[in-house]
Amino acid sequence: MAASVHGVVRASLDADAVAFISLTQAWGLRDALVAAGFTTTLRRGDSDDPISALLAVEDSHSNRVDLLVGLRGLTIAALERAIEVPFQGTLLTVLGREDFIATKLFAGGPQDLADAAAAWAVDQATLDLALLEALARSFGPETAERLRVLLSSV
């Protein structure tokens, strides 16, 4: 969802959301969702996984949301920078463009890197480059290097 808000047009079969909750709270949420009729899978990340756990939620129509229970390097401050956009009569809160690009660079897969480059290309003039560089550094040296490569390619 954030990808389309930031100018990245492509099809996706699911939506991702970051939940700033504990693993104990994730288990409680999983139980509540199962009681409400959803199909869920809760997978815990190992010690070097940047995601503490992933709660996959699916409804009877095969709509799917992956709730990332914590993402190493992403802080609650990202919520303060988040933007709200209208979506089907309500407001949807998504990561701001700098946070979106940084998380995509952190993920590092081919589609993630393409998404980051596309979001960067939308409007470089309004991007807070100092913030983006700080966010990339907060995710670690590999992410900072991916940002350097992205910036050198434009």
Q: Does residue 13 have a pLDDT over 80?
A: no
pLDDT per residue over 17-76, tens digit each? 888 899 999 999 999 999 999 999 999 988 778 888 999 999 999 999 999 998 888 888
Q: What is the pTM of this model?
A: 0.84
Pairing of strands 39-44, 83-87: unpaired
Q: Which helix (H) or strand (E) holds 15?
A: strand 14-19
Work out the average pLDDT over 113-132: 93
Q: What is the mean pLDDT of the chain?
A: 91
Q: List the chain domain ranges.
A: 2-152
